[in-house]
A and B are shown apart, each in its own frame.
Chain A
Amino acid sequence: MTDYKALEKQIQDQARQWLESGEVKYVIGFEKGDNSPVCRPVFIYKPEDAGKLAWGPLCNNNLTKYLVEEVQIKPKKGEEPDLRPVGIVVKPCDSKTIVELMKENIVPRERVKIIGVISEGTINPKALDKALKDVPLDKIAGIQILDGGDNFTIKYDGEPLSVPKDELLNGKCKVCVVHNPVVYDIFVGDKVTQIDKDEFEDIADLEAMSDEERYEYWKEQLSKCIRCYACRDTCPLCYCEECVFDRTKPYNWNEKTVDLPENFFYHMVRAMHLAGRCVDCGGCERVCPMDIPIRKLNRFLLKRAKERFKVVPGINVEDKAMFGDYDIDDPGEGIK
């Protein structure tokens, strides 16, 4: 059970202290939305604004994307770059992203100050909408969500609702085994005991399908894709200055046509570029306007990386990257 109010208080105090002492340039965190209970990212520059910072199960974004943008910014001519660290509030899955970014020498450790918060699962806003269908519209922004062990208690003016966690949680949280931040300067909350469960139970049904069924399944899913590239844009590990899908010269790898083969190419190449790096933060699936289960694509690769090459991304900075390393005894005569 997580006491969100207590965590929120600790986050605010820490951010205020850092901003007052000038240790950090600014703090990236979450604030309450205006007309929605869903939290949105906020940048806090002044210590008196630190009270805006919010914490709750609806803090879904992976804020490390802003961190990548911060370190990639080039100062204007004649300007001294401000190299002070940036404060950031992270969930365990986001902290894994930071580990991966440090491993790839994108974000130096000294450029970031991390407030690591424990998380026992975040709520999918779409599932919440369904659960709140009986709540009057004008009350929705003011609801309070409390963690009650196996269920969430949703408080508003009327009778409090009790919804089982399984109905509300994001898919990634249902199978997540890392509930404590991996890297942090300040640890917020009480350490959660490590859970032991089958990480890949959510893709078991897809793996059991025959080739034709799987092809039909993905054909249906990928035909929906409108190639808005939101999944790429939100991914903190897609930090290339020029993306292969934007480039048309010297060779146009991906036609701009939106049809199945091109969508297939896009999603496969995106998944390949994240092979052994993706930490399963679920950002791509969260932003997808067409509800394509994009995360599943990455999870197949996560599974292969773990089972065949013993590579688990986002745990240790010292670990080697999957494609940056090889082992003479790697299994696999042929590809099977």
Chain B
Amino acid sequence: MIEMDDKSDFEPKIIGFLCNWCSYAGADLAGVSRFQYPANVRVIRVMCSSRIDPQFVLKALTEGADGVLIAGCHPGDCHYIEGNYRTRRRIAALDKILEKYGLSDRVFLEWVSASEGKRFAEVVTDITNKLKELGPNPHKARWEI
């Protein structure tokens, strides 16, 4: 394993759950428009942000992801009318228990619409910087033999 004492060398691994109708299209637009953003995010497309069981997020953190991005349509714009309202409640609850573990800074819930390619690039840049500051996920050590 490469030693990563210097924080500036640390490249966080971010798992991004993007909703099919807004955020994934937003990410696509960011690509098509050639906005630059860090390549740290690994995108998983889901049909709706409410498809994301908090279990998915926890599993990602358990397996050593440094951050998790959950992105969906803006409230009120959900393709399935009410999906993202439900996501908002779930992630608010998840955040509270992550907080007491001191890990809540690693989960991000953002609303990105299909026309917000620029915003997607900004969001990814922003959370990558935040995670670089924060350092690696403490659970990652498990995989470093």
Contacts and interface: CB of A to CB of B under 8 A. Distances in A.
Contacts of A259: 142
Contacts of B139: 260-261, 264
Contacts of B97: 268, 271-272, 275, 297, 300-301
B94 interface: yes
A335 B92 CA distance: 6
A206 B93 contact: no
Decide if the interface of chain A is mainly helix, strand, loop or mixed. helix
Interface string B73-109: 0011000001001101111111111111111110111
Contact of A334 (B76, B85, B108): B108
B145 to A, nearest CB: 13
A301 B96 contact: yes
Q: What is the size category of the interface that chain B forms with chain A?
A: 35 or more
A269 B54 CA distance: 8
A206 B93 CA distance: 17
Interface string A58-88: 0000000000000000000000000000000
Interface stretch (B16-24, B27-35, B38-46, B55-63): B55-63
Interface stretch (A25-33, A183-191, A321-329): A321-329
A305 B93 contact: yes
7 contacts: A261-B139, A264-B58, A269-B58, A297-B100, A300-B97, A304-B93, A332-B88
User: Which 3 residue pairs of A and B lie closest in terms of their CB atoms, listed nearest first?
Assistant: A215-B102, A211-B102, A326-B85
Interface of A: 206-207, 210-215, 218-219, 244, 253, 259-262, 264-265, 268-269, 271-272, 275-276, 296-297, 300-301, 303-305, 308-309, 322-323, 326-328, 330, 332-336
Given A215-B138, A309-B92, A326-B88, 20 more contacts: A211-B102, A213-B102, A215-B101, A264-B58, A265-B59, A265-B62, A268-B97, A269-B55, A272-B55, A272-B94, A300-B97, A301-B96, A304-B96, A323-B90, A323-B93, A327-B85, A328-B85, A330-B88, A332-B88, A334-B108
Interface of B: 54-55, 58-59, 62-64, 75-76, 82, 85-86, 88-105, 107-111, 138-139, 142
